[in-house]
Amino acid sequence: MKQPVIAQIAQQLAPGGIETMVLDLQSGADNPEQVHIISLEGTEASLKENWPRLQNIPRLHALNKQPGIQMSTIHQLADLLRSLKVDVVHTHHVGPMLYGGLAAKLAGCGHVHTEHDAWHLANLKRRILVGTFFHLLRPTVIADARLVSQSIQRYIPMFSTEVIMNGISTERFQPGDQSQARHYLGLPTDVPIIGCAARLTPVKSHDILLSAFARLPGHTHLALAGGGELETTLREQAASLGISDRVHFLGVVQNMPLFFQAIDVFCLASQREGLPLSPLEAQSCGRNVVLTDVGGCSEATAPDYGLLVPAGDIDSLSTALQRQLNEGCTDSARLSARTFVKEHGDMKRMIAQYQRFYRHSIGQQGTSGEGCDA
């Protein structure tokens, strides 16, 4: 059987963990020329303007879907799948599952869907919606963490799932020269720095992180990588706490390995997560982490050195950050963190596992792997 042609479908390509994973599933494939990336929303020009990393991404397609249910988008997507001779669509989140799943049926493609978190299934309406899509579209459902799989099985018990842990490129994310990285990012070179890489949105709880950080010694700094609608609010909070001179808003950082190499401790204070990529990237660069114990964060943490705290607990977060700073990141800790990621969160392992399900999905459709039905 030839290498299947895959279409990775996301709602809108913008800097974030899921979107980064979509790009990695293309770049890390054995044959990247066989992988297309489709954004339901936005135009190719607008997506590239908002995320410069997309400038060099090949086989990128944008459907410019408008808000609300757009039935025409399903037919537009099905036509695109046929023209690209796609064998399998791989959807991420509920919107792409609906549009991609229906278009896949029209075009005769296989369908693999990754569920990146399961907190939303606690909502009855959302649970009914997702369960209906699962049973109507019959995708091969992959959970990115054991906890996500368990939640799906609890809320949608008649539907089985597989687990493939998210992976990152351990070749791209590796230890490097800290002073050089700080110089590149314009960060001070002689102070301990805590780092967070996440969109500036409510679910990431940067306000909790700022409050916890404000309790740390005055020589400690905080670097925030990412943009979002809360930037002005968070800047105002930092000013009210008297820590503006120690908080660095870096915006969208294009060279993320340098960001992780520049910091001393990585922190993610989220209210909700699936299995986040940023802690894997940080640990692959040899950094210890402090994460809230939500979603699959425990599965993304090196057990011997990473620390987990309850979400929303400012006291626990501040104490854990201080502990990591006090203990420092020893050579053994750096090695353990990186080894953990190489063994459990490597991108090559993730892609190999997905390839197996892509081929299985083609078999479920009864196709010969020669592309979608025209």
Q: How confident is the model at residue 334 (pLDDT cuts 50, 70, 90)?
A: confident
CA distance 140 to 161: 7
- Residue 1 maps to a domain: no
134 & 266 share domain:
no
Question: One-letter amino acid identity for 329?
Answer: C
CA distance 216 to 192: 11
210 & 357 share domain:
no
- In the predicted model, is pLDDT for residue 311 greater than 90? yes
300 & 251 share domain:
yes
- In the predicted model, is pLDDT for residue 1 greater than 60? no
> What tokens were used for 225?
């990588």
Q: How confident is the model at residue 365 (pLDDT cuts 50, 70, 90)?
A: low
Instruction: Confirm if 215 and 319 have CB atoms less than 8 A apart.
Output: no
- At 91, give phi and psi (nearest 5°): -105, 155
- In the predicted model, is pLDDT for residue 369 greater than 60? no
- Residue 67 maps to a domain: yes
pLDDT in tens, 198-210: 999 999 999 999 9
306 & 189 share domain:
yes
Chain centroid offset of residue 366 CA: 32
Which residues, at least 6 apart from 135, have a Cβ–Cβ distance to it below 8 Å? 158, 159
190 & 159 share domain:
no
pLDDT at 371: 41
123 & 242 share domain:
no
> What tokens were used for 231?
């930037």
- In the predicted model, is pLDDT for residue 14 greater than 80? yes
63 & 20 share domain:
yes
> What tokens were used for 161?
């799932």
Question: One-letter amino acid identity for 31?
Answer: N
pLDDT in tens, 219-257: 999 999 999 999 999 999 999 999 999 999 999 998 999
337 & 203 share domain:
yes
Domain count of the fold of the chain: 2
- Residue 374 maps to a domain: no
What is the domain extent for residue 206? 178-344
130 & 189 share domain:
no
> What tokens were used for 140?
């091969």
How big is the CA angle at 282 (ends 28 and 305), to the nearest 5 degrees? 125
332 & 360 share domain:
no
- Residue 373 maps to a domain: no
Whichever domain contains 57, its CATH number is 3.40.50.2000
Burial of 372 (0-12, 13-18, 19+ CB in 10 A): buried
CA distance 305 to 283: 10
pLDDT at 157: 84
- Residue 70 maps to a domain: yes
237 & 360 share domain:
no
- Residue 68 maps to a domain: yes
Region 125-145 average pLDDT: 91
DSSP character string of 23-45: HHHHHTSSSGGGEEEEESSS-HH
- In the predicted model, is pLDDT for residue 374 greater than 50? no
Instruction: Identify the CA nearest to 278 among candidates 304, 295, 297.
Output: 297
Region 28-42 average pLDDT: 95
- In the predicted model, is pLDDT for residue 158 greater than 80? no
44 & 136 share domain:
yes
- Residue 360 maps to a domain: yes
